[in-house]
Amino acid sequence: MLSSRQKFAFRSVQHWQNLIKNQGSLVNAIVGDSCIHVDQHYPLDDWRSPCTTFQGFYHCHRADGSREHGHIHLFKRFDGIGLVHLFAISFDNKGLPLSFFNVSPKVASDKGLCPSIRASVVQSGVGSWRTFADKKLSNVLFFVINLIGMYSDEIGSQMAQEPMCSMARCGKEVMWIYNINWMADLAKL
Ligand SMILES: [Zn+2]
């Protein structure tokens, strides 16, 4: 019987293959054929779940050919707090995932939230994230959701270990980074 990690991994590969077949790459599927504009959100008005609980976008900070092409920032809206940055996923120029990371609340311009509550969004399972996937970009978002599912233990434990909100405002831009080798991790399953 397949473990939940294996199921997510299997589905991530299926959606990855659809992306390659239909749009060439994850980056092409998100950005299109034109050159990427630094700091512009893709899509322009962000991905939003129908109930606007989840939100996300892809962007790049530098078009200098560094190893990272860009990253997806993911947010969740909490009652009484507003939009909170959960974490980000970094991709190379072929659209292969490189790492998961989080920026400090200061950089994300949100009010911060207790790390364990933020981590529980990932650890409680990515089932609820499915509402996030709209039809237009279903391959991209289903790939991302299943990739998160595959690594939910690792992401959740990194998030849970984040310093408390007040301490996080110490000027650090990146609070944690978890590098992955997706292909090698798939081969190990
Ligand atoms: Zn960014």
**Cβ-based neighbours of 78, under 8 Å, separated by 6 or more:** 84, 113, 117
Distance 175 CA to ligand 1 centre (A): 13
The C-alpha angle with vertex 38 and arms to 51 and 162, in degrees rounded to 5, equals 60
CA of 43 to the centre of ligand 1 (A): 14
pTM: 0.88
How far apart are alpha carbons 6 and 45 in whole angstroms? Answer: 33
59: CA distance to ligand 1 center in Å? 6
Ligand 1 centre from 6 Cα, in Å? 29
Strongest mean pLDDT among 94-98, 102-106, 180-184:
180-184
Q: Where are the domains of the chain?
A: 4-188
Distance CA(87)–CA(144), nearest Å, equals 12
Task: Output the CA torsion 45→168→157→182 (10° steps).
Answer: 50
H helices within 36-169, ranges in order? 105-108, 115-123, 138-150, 152-160, 165-168
Residue 49 — pLDDT band, cuts 50, 70, 90?
confident
Predicted confidence band of residue 89 (pLDDT cuts 50, 70, 90) = very high
Q: How sure is the predictor about 171, in pLDDT bands with cuts at 50, 70 and 90?
A: low
